[in-house]
Structure 1
Amino acid sequence: MTMPVMEPSLDADMLRTWATGIDDGPFSSLCWGERIAFDNPECLTLLGALSVWTQRVQLVTTVVVPQLHDPVMLAKSLATGDMLCGGRLTVGLGVGGRHEDYHAVGADPSTQTMRGLAERAEILRRVWAGEKITESVLPVGPPPARRGGPELHIGSTGPKTIRSAAAWADGVTGVTLDLDLDRQSELFDVARTAWADAGARRPHLATSFWFALGDGDGPRAQIHRHLRRYMNWIPAEFVDAMAPTTGWAGTDAELVEVLRRFAAIGTDEVHLIPTSSDPDQLRRAAEVAAEFA
Protein backbone atom coordinates (compact mmCIF):
# COMPACT_ATOMS: atom_id res chain seq x y z
CA MET A 1 0.00 0.00 0.00
CA THR A 2 1.23 3.46 -0.94
CA MET A 3 0.94 6.38 1.46
CA PRO A 4 -1.41 9.16 0.23
CA VAL A 5 1.49 11.64 0.09
CA MET A 6 0.26 13.30 -3.11
CA GLU A 7 -3.13 14.17 -1.65
CA PRO A 8 -3.96 17.71 -0.40
CA SER A 9 -4.27 18.91 3.19
CA LEU A 10 -2.12 16.24 4.81
CA ASP A 11 -0.92 16.54 8.38
CA ALA A 12 1.06 14.40 10.80
CA ASP A 13 -2.04 12.77 12.27
CA MET A 14 -3.31 11.65 8.86
CA LEU A 15 0.09 10.31 7.81
CA ARG A 16 0.47 8.45 11.11
CA THR A 17 -3.03 6.98 10.78
CA TRP A 18 -2.20 5.59 7.36
CA ALA A 19 1.24 4.35 8.38
CA THR A 20 0.00 2.47 11.45
CA GLY A 21 -3.01 1.17 9.52
CA ILE A 22 -0.75 -0.24 6.81
CA ASP A 23 1.56 -1.73 9.44
CA ASP A 24 -1.35 -3.32 11.31
CA GLY A 25 -2.94 -4.71 8.17
CA PRO A 26 -1.99 -7.63 5.94
CA PHE A 27 0.09 -5.50 3.54
CA SER A 28 3.64 -6.61 2.76
CA SER A 29 5.04 -3.14 2.04
CA LEU A 30 4.44 0.53 2.75
CA CYS A 31 5.43 2.75 -0.19
CA TRP A 32 5.86 6.45 -0.89
CA GLY A 33 7.37 8.54 -3.65
CA GLU A 34 9.28 11.75 -4.23
CA ARG A 35 8.42 15.05 -5.83
CA ILE A 36 10.07 18.42 -5.23
CA ALA A 37 7.92 21.11 -6.88
CA PHE A 38 4.76 19.87 -5.16
CA ASP A 39 3.31 20.00 -1.64
CA ASN A 40 4.04 16.38 -0.70
CA PRO A 41 6.21 15.62 2.37
CA GLU A 42 9.96 15.40 1.75
CA CYS A 43 10.65 11.71 1.23
CA LEU A 44 13.76 11.23 3.40
CA THR A 45 12.32 13.15 6.35
CA LEU A 46 9.19 11.01 6.05
CA LEU A 47 11.39 7.88 6.08
CA GLY A 48 12.48 8.76 9.61
CA ALA A 49 8.90 9.15 10.78
CA LEU A 50 7.76 5.95 9.09
CA SER A 51 10.61 4.07 10.75
CA VAL A 52 9.20 5.10 14.12
CA TRP A 53 5.51 4.71 13.30
CA THR A 54 5.84 1.14 11.93
CA GLN A 55 7.32 -2.08 13.27
CA ARG A 56 6.59 -4.84 10.74
CA VAL A 57 5.99 -3.74 7.19
CA GLN A 58 8.73 -3.30 4.56
CA LEU A 59 9.38 0.37 3.72
CA VAL A 60 9.73 0.96 -0.04
CA THR A 61 10.56 4.22 -1.81
CA THR A 62 8.67 4.34 -5.12
CA VAL A 63 10.76 6.14 -6.11
CA VAL A 64 13.67 8.33 -4.98
CA VAL A 65 15.41 10.25 -7.80
CA PRO A 66 19.12 10.17 -6.85
CA GLN A 67 20.06 12.88 -9.36
CA LEU A 68 18.10 15.34 -7.17
CA HIS A 69 20.44 14.66 -4.22
CA ASP A 70 24.10 14.69 -3.38
CA PRO A 71 24.74 10.93 -3.71
CA VAL A 72 26.90 10.60 -0.59
CA MET A 73 24.37 12.46 1.57
CA LEU A 74 21.62 10.34 0.02
CA ALA A 75 23.55 7.19 0.94
CA LYS A 76 23.96 8.48 4.51
CA SER A 77 20.27 9.39 4.81
CA LEU A 78 19.08 6.04 3.47
CA ALA A 79 21.53 4.12 5.68
CA THR A 80 20.21 6.06 8.67
CA GLY A 81 16.65 5.16 7.70
CA ASP A 82 17.61 1.52 7.26
CA MET A 83 19.21 1.53 10.69
CA LEU A 84 16.18 3.19 12.31
CA CYS A 85 13.70 0.72 10.80
CA GLY A 86 15.83 -2.32 11.55
CA GLY A 87 16.70 -3.21 7.98
CA ARG A 88 13.16 -2.96 6.59
CA LEU A 89 14.07 -0.50 3.82
CA THR A 90 13.94 -1.17 0.08
CA VAL A 91 15.07 1.68 -2.15
CA GLY A 92 13.31 2.15 -5.47
CA LEU A 93 15.28 4.48 -7.74
CA GLY A 94 14.17 6.28 -10.89
CA VAL A 95 15.18 9.15 -13.14
CA GLY A 96 11.95 11.07 -12.56
CA GLY A 97 9.60 12.45 -15.16
CA ARG A 98 9.67 16.20 -14.46
CA HIS A 99 12.37 18.72 -15.38
CA GLU A 100 10.84 21.15 -12.87
CA ASP A 101 12.02 18.99 -9.96
CA TYR A 102 15.57 19.10 -11.30
CA HIS A 103 15.41 22.87 -11.72
CA ALA A 104 13.92 23.34 -8.22
CA VAL A 105 17.01 21.89 -6.53
CA GLY A 106 19.57 23.16 -9.05
CA ALA A 107 20.23 19.69 -10.48
CA ASP A 108 21.42 19.25 -14.05
CA PRO A 109 18.59 17.92 -16.26
CA SER A 110 21.21 16.37 -18.56
CA THR A 111 21.78 13.78 -15.80
CA GLN A 112 18.16 12.63 -16.14
CA THR A 113 19.38 9.42 -17.78
CA MET A 114 19.85 5.78 -16.87
CA ARG A 115 23.60 6.32 -16.99
CA GLY A 116 23.30 9.11 -14.44
CA LEU A 117 21.12 6.88 -12.28
CA ALA A 118 23.53 3.92 -12.49
CA GLU A 119 26.50 6.13 -11.53
CA ARG A 120 24.72 7.26 -8.39
CA ALA A 121 23.55 3.75 -7.54
CA GLU A 122 27.20 2.70 -7.61
CA ILE A 123 28.08 5.46 -5.13
CA LEU A 124 25.30 4.29 -2.80
CA ARG A 125 26.69 0.76 -2.87
CA ARG A 126 30.25 1.96 -2.25
CA VAL A 127 29.24 4.08 0.75
CA TRP A 128 27.16 1.25 2.22
CA ALA A 129 30.09 -1.12 1.78
CA GLY A 130 32.18 1.15 4.02
CA GLU A 131 34.44 2.37 1.24
CA LYS A 132 36.04 5.79 1.69
CA ILE A 133 34.79 7.98 -1.14
CA THR A 134 37.35 10.70 -0.34
CA GLU A 135 40.35 11.05 1.96
CA SER A 136 38.88 10.99 5.46
CA VAL A 137 39.66 9.52 8.86
CA LEU A 138 36.52 7.37 8.78
CA PRO A 139 34.18 6.34 5.96
CA VAL A 140 30.69 7.85 5.70
CA GLY A 141 28.31 6.13 8.10
CA PRO A 142 26.26 4.89 9.77
CA PRO A 143 26.46 1.40 8.33
CA PRO A 144 23.04 0.20 7.15
CA ALA A 145 21.29 -2.49 9.15
CA ARG A 146 21.75 -5.00 6.34
CA ARG A 147 25.23 -5.84 5.12
CA GLY A 148 25.73 -4.08 1.79
CA GLY A 149 22.73 -1.86 2.33
CA PRO A 150 19.08 -1.98 1.30
CA GLU A 151 17.96 -3.69 -1.88
CA LEU A 152 17.84 -1.37 -4.90
CA HIS A 153 14.91 -1.63 -7.32
CA ILE A 154 14.59 0.13 -10.65
CA GLY A 155 11.47 2.22 -11.15
CA SER A 156 10.76 1.83 -14.85
CA THR A 157 8.24 0.65 -17.44
CA GLY A 158 10.61 0.42 -20.40
CA PRO A 159 12.33 -2.80 -21.58
CA LYS A 160 15.59 -1.02 -22.46
CA THR A 161 15.76 0.64 -19.04
CA ILE A 162 14.99 -2.61 -17.25
CA ARG A 163 17.72 -4.44 -19.16
CA SER A 164 20.29 -1.77 -18.31
CA ALA A 165 19.47 -1.97 -14.60
CA ALA A 166 20.22 -5.70 -14.33
CA ALA A 167 23.86 -4.83 -13.62
CA TRP A 168 23.06 -3.08 -10.32
CA ALA A 169 19.42 -3.53 -9.29
CA ASP A 170 17.80 -6.28 -7.22
CA GLY A 171 14.35 -5.89 -8.69
CA VAL A 172 11.79 -3.88 -10.63
CA THR A 173 9.18 -1.51 -9.24
CA GLY A 174 7.07 -0.23 -12.11
CA VAL A 175 3.67 1.24 -12.78
CA THR A 176 0.89 0.27 -15.14
CA LEU A 177 -1.48 2.98 -16.29
CA ASP A 178 -4.06 0.77 -18.03
CA LEU A 179 -3.50 -2.57 -16.23
CA ASP A 180 -2.46 -4.30 -19.45
CA LEU A 181 -1.46 -7.71 -18.09
CA ASP A 182 0.01 -8.94 -21.37
CA ARG A 183 2.42 -6.01 -21.49
CA GLN A 184 3.21 -6.39 -17.80
CA SER A 185 3.98 -10.07 -18.30
CA GLU A 186 6.29 -9.21 -21.21
CA LEU A 187 8.19 -6.69 -19.06
CA PHE A 188 8.60 -9.24 -16.29
CA ASP A 189 9.98 -11.72 -18.83
CA VAL A 190 12.46 -9.06 -19.97
CA ALA A 191 13.58 -8.61 -16.37
CA ARG A 192 13.92 -12.33 -15.69
CA THR A 193 16.02 -12.80 -18.82
CA ALA A 194 18.20 -9.73 -18.18
CA TRP A 195 18.96 -10.75 -14.59
CA ALA A 196 19.74 -14.32 -15.65
CA ASP A 197 22.06 -13.06 -18.39
CA ALA A 198 23.82 -10.87 -15.80
CA GLY A 199 24.33 -13.88 -13.54
CA ALA A 200 22.15 -12.33 -10.85
CA ARG A 201 19.51 -13.97 -8.71
CA ARG A 202 15.89 -13.72 -9.76
CA PRO A 203 14.66 -10.11 -9.55
CA HIS A 204 11.84 -8.98 -7.29
CA LEU A 205 8.97 -8.09 -9.63
CA ALA A 206 6.54 -5.37 -8.57
CA THR A 207 4.17 -3.02 -10.31
CA SER A 208 1.63 -0.44 -9.15
CA PHE A 209 -1.57 1.29 -10.17
CA TRP A 210 -3.91 3.99 -8.90
CA PHE A 211 -7.08 2.66 -7.33
CA ALA A 212 -10.43 3.80 -5.96
CA LEU A 213 -12.88 1.49 -4.20
CA GLY A 214 -16.63 1.98 -4.28
CA ASP A 215 -19.82 1.58 -6.30
CA GLY A 216 -21.12 3.46 -9.30
CA ASP A 217 -19.34 6.40 -10.94
CA GLY A 218 -17.80 7.79 -7.74
CA PRO A 219 -14.54 5.78 -7.80
CA ARG A 220 -13.73 6.74 -11.40
CA ALA A 221 -14.45 10.40 -10.62
CA GLN A 222 -12.12 10.11 -7.60
CA ILE A 223 -9.27 8.88 -9.81
CA HIS A 224 -9.94 11.69 -12.29
CA ARG A 225 -9.69 14.32 -9.55
CA HIS A 226 -6.47 12.79 -8.28
CA LEU A 227 -4.88 12.68 -11.75
CA ARG A 228 -5.87 16.31 -12.42
CA ARG A 229 -3.99 17.34 -9.28
CA TYR A 230 -1.03 14.96 -9.47
CA MET A 231 -0.34 15.29 -13.20
CA ASN A 232 -0.23 19.06 -13.07
CA TRP A 233 2.72 19.21 -15.49
CA ILE A 234 0.54 17.73 -18.27
CA PRO A 235 -2.10 19.85 -20.08
CA ALA A 236 -5.46 19.27 -18.42
CA GLU A 237 -7.11 18.16 -21.66
CA PHE A 238 -4.58 15.33 -21.97
CA VAL A 239 -5.23 14.23 -18.40
CA ASP A 240 -8.98 14.31 -19.05
CA ALA A 241 -8.50 12.11 -22.12
CA MET A 242 -6.49 9.48 -20.27
CA ALA A 243 -8.48 9.51 -17.00
CA PRO A 244 -11.25 7.08 -18.10
CA THR A 245 -8.73 4.28 -18.70
CA THR A 246 -5.98 5.09 -16.18
CA GLY A 247 -5.83 3.21 -12.90
CA TRP A 248 -8.52 0.94 -11.54
CA ALA A 249 -11.95 1.73 -10.08
CA GLY A 250 -14.53 -0.70 -8.79
CA THR A 251 -15.75 -2.86 -5.94
CA ASP A 252 -13.76 -4.83 -3.39
CA ALA A 253 -14.61 -8.16 -5.02
CA GLU A 254 -13.54 -6.86 -8.42
CA LEU A 255 -10.17 -5.76 -7.02
CA VAL A 256 -9.59 -9.24 -5.62
CA GLU A 257 -10.02 -10.67 -9.12
CA VAL A 258 -7.67 -8.09 -10.64
CA LEU A 259 -4.97 -8.91 -8.10
CA ARG A 260 -5.39 -12.63 -8.75
CA ARG A 261 -4.69 -12.00 -12.43
CA PHE A 262 -1.50 -10.11 -11.53
CA ALA A 263 -0.45 -12.98 -9.27
CA ALA A 264 -0.98 -15.40 -12.15
CA ILE A 265 1.70 -13.68 -14.26
CA GLY A 266 4.28 -13.93 -11.46
CA THR A 267 3.92 -10.53 -9.82
CA ASP A 268 5.61 -10.56 -6.42
CA GLU A 269 3.90 -7.38 -5.23
CA VAL A 270 1.30 -4.91 -6.44
CA HIS A 271 1.78 -1.50 -4.84
CA LEU A 272 -1.68 0.05 -4.65
CA ILE A 273 -1.69 3.85 -5.03
CA PRO A 274 -4.58 5.60 -3.26
CA THR A 275 -6.42 8.46 -4.91
CA SER A 276 -7.88 9.72 -1.64
CA SER A 277 -6.58 10.14 1.90
CA ASP A 278 -9.88 8.77 3.31
CA PRO A 279 -8.90 6.02 5.79
CA ASP A 280 -11.94 4.05 4.64
CA GLN A 281 -10.13 3.38 1.36
CA LEU A 282 -7.26 1.90 3.38
CA ARG A 283 -9.65 -0.21 5.48
CA ARG A 284 -11.36 -1.64 2.41
CA ALA A 285 -8.05 -2.29 0.64
CA ALA A 286 -6.82 -4.13 3.75
CA GLU A 287 -9.83 -6.44 3.56
CA VAL A 288 -8.98 -7.15 -0.06
CA ALA A 289 -5.30 -7.75 0.75
CA ALA A 290 -6.32 -10.21 3.47
CA GLU A 291 -7.44 -12.53 0.68
CA PHE A 292 -3.76 -12.97 -0.23
CA ALA A 293 -2.22 -13.08 3.26
Structure 2
Amino acid sequence: MSAWTTRVPITTTVVVPQLHDPVLLAKALATADRLCDGRLTVGLGVGGREEDYAAVGADWSTRRIADLEHRVRTMQRVWAGENLTGATLPVGPPPHRPGGPSLLIGSHGRRTAASAAGWADGLAGMSLDLDLAATAELFDVAREAWSAARRPAPRLTTSFWFALAETSDDPRGQIHRHLRHYMNWIPPEFVDAMAPASGFAGSVDELREVLAGFAEIGADEVQLIPTSDDPRQVAVLAGALS
Protein backbone atom coordinates (compact mmCIF):
# COMPACT_ATOMS: atom_id res chain seq x y z
CA MET A 1 0.00 0.00 0.00
CA SER A 2 2.75 2.50 0.89
CA ALA A 3 4.54 1.79 -2.40
CA TRP A 4 1.39 2.25 -4.52
CA THR A 5 0.10 5.47 -2.93
CA THR A 6 1.47 8.82 -1.83
CA ARG A 7 -1.49 10.44 -0.02
CA VAL A 8 -3.71 7.66 1.35
CA PRO A 9 -3.52 7.34 5.15
CA ILE A 10 -2.53 3.85 6.25
CA THR A 11 -4.14 2.52 9.42
CA THR A 12 -3.87 -0.76 11.30
CA THR A 13 -6.85 -1.72 13.45
CA VAL A 14 -6.02 -3.21 15.76
CA VAL A 15 -2.63 -4.53 16.83
CA VAL A 16 -2.49 -6.33 20.19
CA PRO A 17 0.89 -5.44 21.78
CA GLN A 18 0.61 -8.28 24.32
CA LEU A 19 1.08 -10.72 21.43
CA HIS A 20 4.46 -9.21 20.48
CA ASP A 21 7.81 -8.28 21.96
CA PRO A 22 7.42 -4.50 22.37
CA VAL A 23 10.91 -3.68 21.10
CA LEU A 24 10.48 -5.77 17.95
CA LEU A 25 7.00 -4.34 17.45
CA ALA A 26 8.40 -0.82 17.77
CA LYS A 27 11.01 -1.66 15.13
CA ALA A 28 8.42 -3.09 12.74
CA LEU A 29 6.07 -0.12 13.10
CA ALA A 30 8.90 2.39 12.74
CA THR A 31 9.96 0.64 9.53
CA ALA A 32 6.40 0.84 8.20
CA ASP A 33 6.20 4.50 9.19
CA ARG A 34 9.34 5.25 7.19
CA LEU A 35 8.15 3.30 4.16
CA CYS A 36 4.96 5.35 3.95
CA ASP A 37 6.59 8.71 4.78
CA GLY A 38 4.77 9.13 8.08
CA ARG A 39 1.27 8.21 6.91
CA LEU A 40 0.93 5.33 9.37
CA THR A 41 -1.65 5.30 12.17
CA VAL A 42 -1.67 2.34 14.54
CA GLY A 43 -4.77 1.14 16.36
CA LEU A 44 -3.92 -0.74 19.55
CA GLY A 45 -6.13 -2.92 21.72
CA VAL A 46 -6.07 -5.82 24.15
CA GLY A 47 -7.88 -8.27 21.86
CA GLY A 48 -10.80 -10.49 22.66
CA ARG A 49 -9.77 -14.05 21.81
CA GLU A 50 -7.91 -16.23 24.28
CA GLU A 51 -6.91 -18.43 21.34
CA ASP A 52 -4.78 -15.58 19.93
CA TYR A 53 -2.81 -15.37 23.16
CA ALA A 54 -2.41 -19.14 23.35
CA ALA A 55 -1.23 -19.33 19.73
CA VAL A 56 1.87 -17.22 20.47
CA GLY A 57 2.40 -18.30 24.08
CA ALA A 58 1.23 -14.96 25.51
CA ASP A 59 -0.19 -14.69 29.02
CA TRP A 60 -3.96 -14.15 28.93
CA SER A 61 -3.74 -12.42 32.31
CA THR A 62 -1.89 -9.53 30.62
CA ARG A 63 -5.08 -8.68 28.71
CA ARG A 64 -5.37 -5.41 30.60
CA ILE A 65 -5.20 -1.79 29.50
CA ALA A 66 -2.43 -1.17 32.06
CA ASP A 67 -0.23 -3.81 30.44
CA LEU A 68 -1.00 -2.39 27.00
CA GLU A 69 0.06 1.07 28.17
CA HIS A 70 3.30 -0.32 29.62
CA ARG A 71 4.18 -1.81 26.25
CA VAL A 72 3.23 1.41 24.45
CA ARG A 73 5.56 3.34 26.72
CA THR A 74 8.35 0.90 25.86
CA MET A 75 7.73 1.39 22.14
CA GLN A 76 7.75 5.15 22.57
CA ARG A 77 11.13 4.94 24.32
CA VAL A 78 12.49 2.92 21.39
CA TRP A 79 11.14 5.53 18.95
CA ALA A 80 12.76 8.26 21.02
CA GLY A 81 16.16 6.61 20.46
CA GLU A 82 16.73 5.12 23.92
CA ASN A 83 18.96 2.08 24.03
CA LEU A 84 16.86 -0.51 25.83
CA THR A 85 18.80 -3.61 24.80
CA GLY A 86 22.35 -2.79 25.86
CA ALA A 87 23.59 -3.25 22.30
CA THR A 88 26.12 -0.93 20.69
CA LEU A 89 23.37 1.10 19.04
CA PRO A 90 19.69 1.69 19.84
CA VAL A 91 17.15 -0.39 17.95
CA GLY A 92 16.31 1.27 14.66
CA PRO A 93 15.26 2.55 12.29
CA PRO A 94 13.92 5.78 13.77
CA PRO A 95 10.33 6.42 12.72
CA HIS A 96 9.56 8.98 10.02
CA ARG A 97 7.73 11.18 12.52
CA PRO A 98 9.44 12.22 15.76
CA GLY A 99 7.89 10.20 18.55
CA GLY A 100 6.59 7.51 16.24
CA PRO A 101 3.36 6.91 14.36
CA SER A 102 0.02 8.22 15.57
CA LEU A 103 -1.60 5.80 18.05
CA LEU A 104 -5.32 5.14 18.56
CA ILE A 105 -6.95 3.10 21.30
CA GLY A 106 -9.11 0.36 19.84
CA SER A 107 -12.16 0.20 22.04
CA HIS A 108 -15.91 0.64 22.24
CA GLY A 109 -15.85 0.74 26.04
CA ARG A 110 -16.01 4.00 27.98
CA ARG A 111 -13.48 3.12 30.69
CA THR A 112 -10.90 1.75 28.26
CA ALA A 113 -11.18 4.76 25.98
CA ALA A 114 -10.84 7.24 28.85
CA SER A 115 -7.85 5.42 30.38
CA ALA A 116 -5.82 5.83 27.16
CA ALA A 117 -5.94 9.63 27.13
CA GLY A 118 -2.41 9.85 28.48
CA TRP A 119 -0.74 8.14 25.53
CA ALA A 120 -3.17 7.74 22.61
CA ASP A 121 -3.88 10.33 19.94
CA GLY A 122 -7.49 9.26 19.57
CA LEU A 123 -10.03 6.51 19.31
CA ALA A 124 -10.31 3.57 16.90
CA GLY A 125 -13.91 2.64 17.56
CA MET A 126 -16.16 -0.04 16.13
CA SER A 127 -19.91 0.28 15.63
CA LEU A 128 -21.52 -3.14 15.61
CA ASP A 129 -25.06 -1.89 14.96
CA LEU A 130 -24.60 1.68 13.66
CA ASP A 131 -25.90 3.14 16.93
CA LEU A 132 -25.16 6.84 16.50
CA ALA A 133 -26.19 7.71 20.05
CA ALA A 134 -23.80 5.15 21.56
CA THR A 135 -20.97 6.29 19.31
CA ALA A 136 -21.64 9.95 20.14
CA GLU A 137 -21.52 9.09 23.85
CA LEU A 138 -18.16 7.35 23.42
CA PHE A 139 -16.83 10.32 21.45
CA ASP A 140 -17.88 12.64 24.29
CA VAL A 141 -16.11 10.41 26.81
CA ALA A 142 -12.93 10.65 24.73
CA ARG A 143 -13.19 14.43 24.35
CA GLU A 144 -13.61 14.87 28.09
CA ALA A 145 -10.78 12.48 28.97
CA TRP A 146 -8.33 14.05 26.53
CA SER A 147 -9.23 17.52 27.78
CA ALA A 148 -8.74 16.45 31.41
CA ALA A 149 -5.33 15.02 30.46
CA ARG A 150 -4.44 18.36 28.80
CA ARG A 151 -3.97 16.60 25.48
CA PRO A 152 -4.93 17.91 22.02
CA ALA A 153 -8.45 17.01 20.93
CA PRO A 154 -8.60 13.29 20.10
CA ARG A 155 -8.91 11.95 16.60
CA LEU A 156 -12.27 10.20 16.55
CA THR A 157 -12.69 7.26 14.20
CA THR A 158 -15.11 4.38 13.97
CA SER A 159 -15.74 1.48 11.61
CA PHE A 160 -18.39 -1.01 10.60
CA TRP A 161 -18.97 -3.96 8.28
CA PHE A 162 -20.76 -3.26 5.02
CA ALA A 163 -22.36 -4.95 2.03
CA LEU A 164 -23.78 -3.03 -0.93
CA ALA A 165 -26.98 -3.76 -2.80
CA GLU A 166 -25.20 -2.59 -5.97
CA THR A 167 -22.72 -5.48 -5.78
CA SER A 168 -24.67 -8.21 -3.97
CA ASP A 169 -28.04 -9.85 -4.53
CA ASP A 170 -28.28 -10.44 -0.77
CA PRO A 171 -26.26 -7.84 1.17
CA ARG A 172 -27.64 -8.84 4.58
CA GLY A 173 -26.91 -12.48 3.85
CA GLN A 174 -23.40 -11.49 2.77
CA ILE A 175 -22.73 -9.91 6.15
CA HIS A 176 -24.21 -12.93 7.92
CA ARG A 177 -21.96 -15.33 6.02
CA HIS A 178 -18.94 -13.14 6.71
CA LEU A 179 -19.65 -13.05 10.45
CA ARG A 180 -20.12 -16.82 10.53
CA HIS A 181 -16.57 -17.10 9.14
CA TYR A 182 -14.96 -14.17 10.99
CA MET A 183 -16.46 -15.03 14.38
CA ASN A 184 -16.02 -18.76 14.13
CA TRP A 185 -14.82 -19.00 17.73
CA ILE A 186 -18.29 -17.92 18.94
CA PRO A 187 -21.17 -20.44 19.03
CA PRO A 188 -23.08 -20.10 15.73
CA GLU A 189 -26.38 -19.37 17.48
CA PHE A 190 -24.91 -16.20 19.00
CA VAL A 191 -23.54 -15.06 15.64
CA ASP A 192 -26.91 -15.77 14.03
CA ALA A 193 -28.63 -13.65 16.68
CA MET A 194 -26.40 -10.63 16.15
CA ALA A 195 -26.03 -10.79 12.36
CA PRO A 196 -29.42 -9.24 11.42
CA ALA A 197 -28.50 -5.97 13.17
CA SER A 198 -24.74 -5.89 12.51
CA GLY A 199 -23.11 -3.53 10.05
CA PHE A 200 -24.64 -1.85 7.02
CA ALA A 201 -26.53 -3.69 4.29
CA GLY A 202 -28.16 -1.50 1.66
CA SER A 203 -27.67 0.90 -1.20
CA VAL A 204 -25.00 3.52 -1.70
CA ASP A 205 -27.59 6.26 -1.21
CA GLU A 206 -28.55 4.77 2.15
CA LEU A 207 -24.86 4.50 3.06
CA ARG A 208 -24.40 8.20 2.35
CA GLU A 209 -27.10 8.95 4.92
CA VAL A 210 -25.41 6.74 7.51
CA LEU A 211 -22.04 8.40 6.93
CA ALA A 212 -23.64 11.84 7.19
CA GLY A 213 -24.93 10.84 10.60
CA PHE A 214 -21.46 9.87 11.78
CA ALA A 215 -20.06 13.12 10.40
CA GLU A 216 -22.71 15.05 12.34
CA ILE A 217 -21.58 13.58 15.67
CA GLY A 218 -17.97 14.51 14.93
CA ALA A 219 -16.35 11.43 13.41
CA ASP A 220 -13.05 12.37 11.80
CA GLU A 221 -12.94 9.12 9.86
CA VAL A 222 -15.17 6.12 9.22
CA GLN A 223 -13.55 2.92 8.03
CA LEU A 224 -15.77 0.64 5.96
CA ILE A 225 -14.95 -3.03 6.48
CA PRO A 226 -15.78 -5.17 3.43
CA THR A 227 -17.55 -8.49 3.87
CA SER A 228 -16.76 -9.75 0.37
CA ASP A 229 -13.67 -10.06 -1.81
CA ASP A 230 -15.56 -8.58 -4.79
CA PRO A 231 -13.39 -5.68 -6.03
CA ARG A 232 -16.43 -3.96 -7.56
CA GLN A 233 -17.49 -2.67 -4.16
CA VAL A 234 -14.35 -0.53 -3.96
CA ALA A 235 -15.04 1.01 -7.34
CA VAL A 236 -18.69 1.64 -6.46
CA LEU A 237 -17.73 3.31 -3.19
CA ALA A 238 -15.01 5.39 -4.79
CA GLY A 239 -17.38 6.67 -7.45
CA ALA A 240 -20.25 7.35 -5.07
CA LEU A 241 -18.42 8.89 -2.13
CA SER A 242 -15.74 10.92 -3.89
Q: Report the TM-score when normalising by structure 1.
A: 0.80
- Deviation readout 1:117-163 (Å, 9 max, x if unpaired): 10111011110011111322211110000111101100000000011
Tell me, yes or no, if the aligned pair for 1:207 and 1:271 is still in contact at 8 Å.
yes
Q: Name which of 197, 202, 219 aligns with 1:250.
A: 202
Determine helix, strand or coil for the equivalent of 1:57. coil
**For 1:238 and 1:53, how far apart are their aligned partners in 2?**
40
**For 2:12 and 2:51, how far apart are their aligned partners in 1?**
20
Give 2:116's aligned residue. Answer: 165
Q: Number of matched residues?
A: 241
Give 1:53's aligned residue. Answer: 4
Q: Report the TM-score when normalising by structure 2.
A: 0.97
- Deviation readout 1:174-231 (Å, 9 max, x if unpaired): 1011111011001000000000000000000000000000168600000000000000
Determine helix, strand or coil for the equivalent of 1:53. coil
**For 2:241 and 2:34, how far apart are their aligned partners in 1?**
28
Amino acid at match of 1:228: R
Amino acid at match of 2:76: R
**For 2:6 and 2:55, how far apart are their aligned partners in 1?**
34
Question: For structure 2, which runs of at least 5 residues remain unmatched after alignment?
Answer: none
Give 1:156's aligned residue. Answer: 107
Give 1:238's aligned residue. Answer: 190
Tell me, yes or no, if the aligned pair for 1:255 and 1:288 is still in contact at 8 Å.
no
**For 2:239 and 2:159, how far apart are their aligned partners in 1?**
18
Give 1:273's aligned residue. Answer: 225
Give 1:179's aligned residue. Answer: 130
Q: CA RMSD in A?
A: 1.1
Pairing 1:140–2:91 present: yes
Give 2:144's aligned residue. Answer: 193
Q: Name which of 101, 105, 120 aligns with 2:71.
A: 120
Q: Name which of 11, 14, 21 aligns with 1:63.
A: 14
Give 1:108's aligned residue. Answer: 59
Give 2:160's aligned residue. Answer: 209
**For 2:12 and 2:241, how far apart are their aligned partners in 1?**
20
Amino acid at match of 2:146: W
Q: Which has the higher contact order (CA 8 A, sep 6+)?
A: 1
Question: For structure 1, which runs of at least 5 residues remain unmatched after alignment?
Answer: 1-49
**For 2:5 and 2:17, how far apart are their aligned partners in 1?**
25
**For 1:116 and 1:82, how far apart are their aligned partners in 2?**
24
Give 2:82's aligned residue. Answer: 131
